[in-house]
Amino acid sequence: MVDSDQVRLLLDWSDAPRDIADPWYTGNFDQTYDDVLEGCETLLAALD
């Protein structure tokens, strides 16, 4: 079982934590891409 203290959202690593909008509903795939990219970059920076 996973401890809830170990689970984080991708953008929790960024300076502006927020949910990533689902482009299926928003139609804004560019914003979703930008959010995922930001989250990945900040997560990788935290691991460095």
* Mean of the per-residue pLDDT values of the chain: 92
Contact status, residue 32 vs residue 21, Cβ threshold 8 Å:
yes
Place of tokens 């203290």: 5
Q: Measure the CA–CA gap between 4 and 38, rounded to whole angstroms.
A: 23
How sure is the predictor about 29, in pLDDT bands with cuts at 50, 70 and 90?
A: very high
Q: For a pLDDT cut of 70, what percent of the chain falls above it?
A: 94
Helix (H, G, I), strand (E, B) or coil at 13: helix
pTM for this prediction: 0.81
